[in-house]
Amino acid sequence: MKRLLINIIKYCIILLVLFIAVFSFHFLINIINLTKIPKGAIDTTGIVNALIVPIIVQSCYVALLLSLFIFNYMILNGVYKFKILNFFIPIVIGSLAVLSVSLLFNRKINEITIRNIKDARLYFSEKSIFDYKETLKKNIEEKDFENNVINKIKDEKNRVFVSRMYIKDLYSGEYFLNKKISALEINKILDIFYSIDYYKVLKLYFEDIRKENIGLVKVLYDKEFYNFTDVKVEFLEDKILVNLPGLKNLEFERNYSQEYSSGNIFIESILKGVKNFPYSFYIFDNILARVILWFAYSFLALSIINSINVKLYQLLSVSINFFVLLFFFYYTYSLFNLYNVAVLNFIPGDFIKGITLSFAFIITGSLVQFGNWALVKTGIWEKTK
Amino acid sequence: MAKDENLSKIYFKTIITFFVVFISLLLFSFVYSNFSFNKITFHPQFFFDFFKANSVVIFFNNYFLCSLLFLTLTYSLVINSKDLISKTGSKLLFYQISSRGLHLLVFLTIFYIIALEFIVPSALEKIDAIKNSSLRAGISLRNGEEAYENKDYVEAAKFFNEYLSIIDDVTIEEKFREAKNKIVLPKKMRSTELDAILKSSKNESDKLFIKELYEKEINDYFYLKDNTSTEEKNRLWSLLNGIDYFDKAAPIEYKDDGLISDIITDYGQLAEIFFNKRDYLTAWYYYQYVVEADTAKRAEAQNKIYLIKKALKYQKSDFSETEFAEFMKNKESEIKNIYNLKKTAANYLNLKEYQKAYFVYQDILGINKNLRDALNGINLSRSELNKISAEYSDIEKAKKYVGKRNFVFLLDQHSTIYIGNIVKTYNEDFTYTYYLYDIKINYFDAKTNKRSLIKADFGQMKTNYLATFYCFDISDRNREFFPTITENGVTKVLKDNYLYTIPIDINTLYNFSYDYEKTLTFPIVKLLRLKNYKFTGSNNNNAGINMDFVKTAILDKISRYFILFTLGLLTISLSWRLRSKYPGAFPISLYPILLVIPLFLYFVIKTALYFSTLTFSILSGCVDFTILLIIAVAFHSILSAVSAIFLAVTLVE
């Protein structure tokens, strides 16, 4: 029992260290941006609600999932007595942490986003010419696509590539963008569209950026210059809209200004997916459902992580589990969202939805545990090791 | 002793793994480089140069991953529990086991810094140079073949010659020879023309060769000898081509026969010299000037003109009286015409209308090509034109090269410039010229309303900062391109205002891009210079170019060196803690699963680098560079220290 207590303390330390690390990183890169806003213009209460609370909530969920992975290797794998009790340490403490955070900061999904600060100064750099990247059209009319896109692409390979990415809808005649398109493919299509002048080059220069408007916008569009003064900036859920009257409506992602890519679009897209993980549990707007869901979710996650255990070569287990962890980070939000949409008409209320999903996780987790136990008991698992 | 044996075995295994991993990487780089050779972008002749440079780039692109892979394999798989059991039972300490790996990690980190600072940038430059040469060769070949098909053999030979200066190609050499054979070489030359060619030839043997070919003189003409061999024709073509004999465009500098010293500028003296040379018409022109301008020498000059007329009468003894009178009338009118044209040209020169002056002087030289002042005038006009204008044929030629598109920057607070396309062409002497296309400058008033728009179809950089938007055609006096200005709906041609100073060095502008990955390949010294780059006359707005990404690149690059070292330390200790028990414990049938490990390392590296770039890109916009540099170095030093402690506390069992 003493050992159990030590393990509980150890886990709490792991969780705390992870939380501090994730929180510090989040805090640093988000708070430092506030220096762009003049001192007097910062609304402290607003900042706490829009920045500090979301950072705490998000860091908490990220640290909780990471802690399962680390707990498995630092503690659980070395435990032989009270294994089941030890197994539930991170699950129970994690659920308590979720309960505390939910009670302390009872927020809705849109209130835990760090992008909540509606101040244009955070998202744009002043006095810097930058390229505006169009959003790829989801559907293009038949004639437009054939005359202005396909017929203008001279390179055969590119023509085939674009034709493959836009699929003709036989009923409407329109061409629809393939839904399974990757970030790399989107970039390639955009490059092709710019090269054939289907999209016109648009460059922007902002001066005198204020909270919800920009004093001066210089625009180069289709080789012509335009100036706009006092341009209004609108903030949507995850987008920023800048309307240039009579010219174009611009749409930007609500990310802090990083005007250049780090060069690895694949890694970038994966890490962007990871960013969505903390929102997953807020799809269900009910504290109890969230706590039970975390309990079930962590049970499933830890069962899987714990089952992948190549004892003769632990590094291999760590490597495989790293990808399992990445999978959890990347797909949880999509999975919860998909479930939420799928059961919309069948299960009423977020609480029931959450409980049902938790139930499914517990069953799956138990099956994984049973499978692991059965394989070990029958000696099959031992043999493969 | 037994302990030493164990250690030697461990060190041997470490070194062997190191060589196996890095030799495998080298082989992979060679194979990948071989398959990534693109025959469209690079000429096959450059295969080996490309192969070497590209292999270096690929090797160092994967160097980070392979360094960690080497440490992982060494400490988690290759060195195993059996290696630790000594005969005497004495226990090894972890610092002893890991010492070779640590030495190699230090070496790998230092070599990584050297590679990224010196080796990779030079390899990338080499690839760029190969790309440029391939492009130049491709264009020359295409133009040469086009000219050959159009039976323009002079042009074809020139392009083939340029192609052959880059690429050794027997087929094109043959075609080049054929083109040269088809060029009609001058059958006869005037003595003055031959003298000029001889003077231009640098080599004595070349002079002798030309003299031998044109040794037959009839009536002041030298004739090309009959039965000239193909080899002789080829050599003659090369010599004449070398002195721009075949250039359809006007020469850069007009020359007289060079027999009269440049110091002599006095018209009386010149008249005397030309009189003695029996160039009576030129002498007449100068004496006529003396008659009109110098009262003291008027009588003498008039007497000389009288003698010239008599000499001409003698020269034209086969003319009838009427014919001679007509001839003299024509010559007198020619001289008058030259005077008028000279006045017009001088007037244009005063008004700085060099293009007009140039063509008037050309007209004068069309009448008499020996007139010293006309030669000086045309050379002066051309030299002034060179300073202020672009030449149309050069602009058209440059269009065939691949340029860079859509440049935008601020000239000052109220004006913005757009350049649709900039082409950089390399000259034969390895200098280069920038040509600009589709230029627009917008001026705005204080209320940011459009005040005026300047448009120019063509331009050329005359210095790194000075651009001209005026272009003339040396083969057509009526073709000139000036910028236009549109104000209040009225468009005017800007005949006097076509020189513009841009706030950015054209080299920087052309090579500058927000391509962060490319910027990361620059050495830190170069990045530091770029960071401190000052944009002239841009009123502190840096021409609209944000240099924060250069700051990020410097910090990111320094971080990469630290990250390699820190991750290396962590890898050694983690690999040891998570190592395989003993060889053979892991079933060979499951070895393919081991591929997960490099994949895992790849993700770890890329994630670390992603967060490094993300952090610095956000911080560089808000924090002063020096402070950020201190923070970065301090943060990474702490991380390295923590990793070192983590390594130090690693136990053998």
Question: A267 in contact with B at a CB cutoff of 8 Å?
Answer: yes
**Which amino acid, B479?**
R
pLDDT reported for residue B589: 74
Task: Determine contact: B416 vs chain A, CB below 8 A.
Answer: yes
Nearest residue to A3 via CA among A83, A58, A122, A69: A83
Q: Which residue of B has its CA nearest to A123?
A: B618
Residues of A in Cβ contact (< 8 Å) with B542: 127
Check pLDDT > 90 for residue B128: no
Closest partner residue to B546 (CB to CB) among A125, A315, A384 is A125
Residue of B nearest to A315 (CA): B578
Per residue in B250-269, pLDDT tens? 555 556 555 555 556 677 77
Confidence of residue A19 (pLDDT cuts 50, 70, 90): very high
- The pLDDT score that the predictor gives to residue B445 is 84
Place A385 in a pLDDT band, splitting at 50, 70 and 90: very low
> What is the residue whose two structure tokens read 């001058």?
B186
Mean per-residue pLDDT, B399-407: 82
Q: How high is the pLDDT of residue A384?
A: 42
Predicted pLDDT at A124: 87
A-to-B residue pairs, Cβ atoms closer than 8 angstroms: 155
Q: Would you call B410 an interface residue with chain A, using a CB distance cutoff of 8 Å? A: yes
pLDDT digits (tens, 9 = 90+) for A264-310: 677 777 777 778 898 899 988 889 999 999 999 999 999 999 998 88
Collapsing DSSP to helix, strand or coil, B532 comes out as coil
In DSSP terms, A168 is beta-bridged to A175
- Average pLDDT, whole number, for chain A? 87
Chain A contacts of B420, Cβ < 8 Å? 223
Residues of A in contact with B447 (CB under 8 A): 229
Question: Rounded to the nearest 5°, which phi and psi values hold at A15?
Answer: -60, -45
Separation in Å, CA of A127 to nearest CA in chain B:
5
pLDDT of A321 strictly over 90: yes
- What is the mean pLDDT of the segment spanning B148-175? 86
The band of A339, judged by pLDDT with boundaries at 50, 70 and 90, is very high
How close A289 gets to chain B, by Cα (Å)? 33
| Residue A313 in contact with partner chain B when CB distance is under 8 A | yes
| pLDDT value of position B247 | 60
d(CA B645, CA B12): 26
The DSSP secondary-structure symbol of A253 reads: E
Q: Does A201 touch chain B (CB under 8 A)?
A: yes
Given pLDDT bands bounded at 50, 70 and 90, which one contains residue B619?
confident
User: Residues 14..43 of B with a Cβ closer than 8 Å to A: which?
Assistant: none
Q: Please, which residues bridge with residue A233 across strands?
A: A242
Do the Cβ atoms of B271 and B283 come closer than 8 Å? yes
The closest CB to that of B606, out of A203, A260, A267, belongs to A267
Reduced to 3 states, what is the DSSP secondary structure of residue B443? strand
More confident: B199 or A261 = B199
Instruction: Name which of A33, A261, A326 is nearest B618 (Cβ-Cβ).
Output: A33
User: Dmax of chain A from CA atoms?
Assistant: 76
Window from A2-16, B314-328, B560-574 with minimum mean pLDDT? B314-328
- What mean pLDDT do residues B400-413 have? 83
Number of C-alpha atoms within 13 angstroms, CB side, residue B57?
20
Higher per-residue confidence, A264 vs B336? B336
Q: Which two tokens stand for residue A291?
A: 């706590």
- pLDDT at residue B584, rounded to an integer: 66
Residue B195 pLDDT > 80: no
pLDDT at residue B18 is higher than 90: yes
Residue B3's pLDDT band (cuts 50, 70, 90):
low
Beta-ladder partners of B391: B472
Report pLDDT digits (tens) over B445-489. Answer: 877 788 899 999 999 999 988 999 999 998 888 999 999 999 988
* Per-residue H/E/C for B204-233: HHHHHHHHHHCCEEECCEEECCCCCCHHHH
B517 part of contact set with chain A, CB < 8 Å? yes
Q: Smallest Cβ distance to A256: which of B77, B541, B618?
A: B618
Angle ∠(B162,B164,B168) on CA atoms, nearest 5: 160
Which DSSP string corresponds to A68-93? HHHHHHHTGGG--TTHHHHHHHHHHH
| Chain-chain contact of A260 with B420 (C-beta, under 8 angstroms) | no
For residue B577, list chain A residues with Cβ-Cβ distance below 8 A. Answer: 314
Q: Is B597 in the A-facing interface, judged by CB distances under 8 Å? A: yes
Mean pLDDT of the region B423-433: 75
- Per residue in A150-160, pLDDT tens? 999 988 889 99
The rounded distance, in Å, linking the Cα atoms of A140 and A162 is: 12
> Do the Cβ atoms of B195 and B180 come closer than 8 Å?
no
Distance from CA of A224 to the nearest CA of B (A): 8
Q: Is B635 on the interface with A (CB under 8 A)?
A: no
pTM of the predicted model as reported, rounded to 2 decimal places: 0.78
The full DSSP string for B22-62 is HHHHHHHHHHHHHHT--TTTS-GGGHHHHHHHHHHHHHHHT
Instruction: Say whether A223 and B420 touch across the interface (CB within 8 A).
Output: yes
pLDDT on residue B221: 75
Longest dimension (CA), chain B: 131
Backbone angles phi, psi at A245, to 5 degrees: -55, 130
Q: Is A189 exposed, middle or buried (0-12, 13-18, 19+ CB in 10 A)?
A: buried
Contacts of A134 by beta carbon, 8 Å cutoff, 6+ apart: A190, A193, A199, A202
Put simply, the answer to whether A316 touches B408 (Cβ < 8 Å) is no
Name the closest residue on chain A to residue B583, using Cα atoms: A312
Q: Which residue of B has its CA nearest to A202?
A: B406
Q: What would the pLDDT profile of B316-331 be if each residue is shown by its tens digit?
A: 777 777 887 888 788 7
Q: Inform me whether the pLDDT recorded for A52 exceeds 80.
A: yes
Report pLDDT for B255: 60
Average pLDDT over residues A324-340: 92
Strands B188-190 and A248-253: unpaired
Q: Please provide the average confidence, as pLDDT, over all residues in chain B.
A: 84
The shortest CB-CB distance from B606 to any of A29, A264, A320 is to A264
Q: Give the pairing type, strands A239-244 and A248-253.
A: antiparallel
Q: What ipTM was reported for this prediction? A: 0.85
Give me the DSSP letters along A298-338.
HHHHHHHHHH---TTBHHHHHHHHHHHHHHHHHHHHHHHHH
State how far residue B145 is from chain A, nearest Cα, in angstroms. 23
Task: Give the contacts of A222 (CB within 8 A, at least 6 positions apart).
Answer: A200, A201, A202
- Which residues, 6 or more positions from A283, have their beta carbon under 8 angstroms from its beta carbon? A109, A333, A336, A337, A340, A350
Q: What is the mean pLDDT of residues B158-166?
A: 86
B615 has a chain A CB within 8 A of its CB: yes
Question: What's the pLDDT band for B585 if we cut at 50, 70, 90?
Answer: low
Residue A312 or B457, more confident:
B457
Return the amino acid letter for B367. I
Choose, out of B514, B542, B557, B620, the residue to mutate when testing the contact with A (most A CBs < 10 Å).
Answer: B514
**Alpha helix (H) residue ranges in B427-470:** none
Q: Please, which residues 15-74 of chain A have a Cβ atom closer than 8 Å to chain B?
A: 25, 28-29, 32-33, 35-36
3-state class of B631 per DSSP? helix
Residues of A within 8 A of B62 (CB-CB) are: none
